[in-house]
Amino acid sequence: MVTGVKKVAKKGLIGGMSFAKEAGAINWFPGHMAAATRAIRSRLKLSDLVIEVRDARIPLSSANEDLQPQLSAKRRIIALNKKDLANPNVLNKWTHHFESKKQDCVAINAHSRSSVKKLLDLVEFKLKEVIAREPTLLVMVVGVPNVGKSALINSVHQIAATRFPVQDKLKRATVGPLPGVTQDIAGFKIAHRPSIYVLDSPGVLVPNIPDIETGLKLALSGSVKDSVVGEERLAQYFLAILNTRGTPLHWKYLFEGRNEGSAHPDSIDKPSYNLKDLRHQRSKQPDSSAVHYVGGMISEVQRSLYTTLSEFDGDAEDENDLECLIEQQFEALQKAFKVSTRASSEARLMVSKKFLTLFRTGSLGPFILDDVPET
């Protein structure tokens, strides 16, 4: 990442309650994670293959560095989940990067049956040499919090009956509780002859995240609670990324050639509608007027960021210039979100929360925050 982003990130975060005094490292390691990490290490020794689930938006930052030595010594498949939220062109570069390192990698959407089947095909292929000599095989799923392990496990459980020959009705089997932890490491039988179990595990982070940007990316993607870093700081960091990459300038085509006589979102009776409704829901869907309203709001956000950046005459790589631009954008976003001019701190918090929701739901487009390493 460019120098401006690093300086803004560090300047805005050092001294916060959630950061160590030394270099602003993030310390967020709930007590249960220590016990979970110990249990995961012991199960890894018994596993025949590991599926390491990472967030496709942060293929590098979402790796648990403490577990990497043990994971790299096992048969491993890196599953880049949430591919629907990631830029497909950059994601292809990431998969090629891992493959160049002789590491199996597949991009998936844990909610997609066909996507998970593709992963299971690779699992079976990787286990072929072991199947002939082992009566029971263990496949372990690991990853940091909120990368989609549970969604993947549920999908595997649902399609196992059609993917693998089984004798008995599929059941959820508890392998063993963790001492002092409410969440167990549980196993799901997905095949018979040989018996293959997929072991789920709690999401765990490293005890200390020394790199500020890695911590911010984890928080942006939801692996670290917003309260640890602060919504406003996260919004500032994401704006810094957008600006230094020039992303809003690519939204120009969204506003060109529009019919000036077309109905504006303000002319439609606005239903009671919340940004939370943008999140995936399988049941009730918002009506057309609600979709139009939210679509108009997203368009206004993109227009605001495009306008402020295109009219910006400073240097986005300069720390002070970038901070001034971000302040202008906060004011523009407050208008785009129609947040009333109440107490400044309260308004900024509301703007930040709404802006982060747009990123996390993919409403602003697909993103990958990690840069592909140079080969």
In a domain, 340, yes or no: yes
Beta strand 185-191 with 195-199: parallel, antiparallel or unpaired?
antiparallel
Domain identity same for 59 and 122: yes
Domain identity same for 190 and 42: yes
Counted domains in the chain: 2
Domain identity same for 191 and 293: no
Q: How far apart are CA 47 and CA 197, in angstroms?
A: 10
CB-based contact 129:48 (threshold 8 Å): no
The vertex-303 CA angle with 297 and 306, nearest 5°, equals: 145
Domain identity same for 74 and 95: yes
Domain identity same for 177 and 189: yes
pLDDT tens, the chain, 375 aa long:
456 666 656 555 433 323 333 334 555 555 566 777 888 888 888 899 999 999 999 999 999 998 999 999 999 999 999 999 999 999 999 999 999 999 999 999 999 999 999 998 899 889 887 877 777 888 999 999 899 988 898 888 887 766 555 444 445 433 333 322 334 556 677 777 777 888 877 777 777 777 889 999 999 999 888 888 899 999 999 999 999 999 999 999 887 655 444 444 343 344 344 555 555 444 455 555 445 557 789 999 999 999 999 999 999 889 999 999 999 999 999 999 999 866 788 999 999 999 999 999 999 999 999 999 886
In a domain, 2, yes or no: no
Domain identity same for 165 and 224: no
In a domain, 168, yes or no: yes
Domain identity same for 20 and 33: no
Domain identity same for 145 and 231: no
Q: Model's pTM, two decimal places? A: 0.81
Query: Shortest CA distance to 52 belongs to which of 32, 38, 73?
Result: 73
3-state secondary structure 94-118: HHHHHHHCCCEEEECCCCCHHHHHH
CB-based contact 82:57 (threshold 8 Å): yes
Domain identity same for 219 and 364: yes
Query: Shortest CA distance to 79 belongs to which of 125, 114, 119, 126?
Result: 119
Beta strand 76-81 with 49-55: parallel, antiparallel or unpaired?
parallel
In a domain, 63, yes or no: yes
Domain that holds residue 345: 8-26+209-256+288-374
In a domain, 268, yes or no: no
Query: Shortest CA distance to 267 belongs to which of 242, 292, 240, 238?
Result: 292
Domain identity same for 175 and 236: no
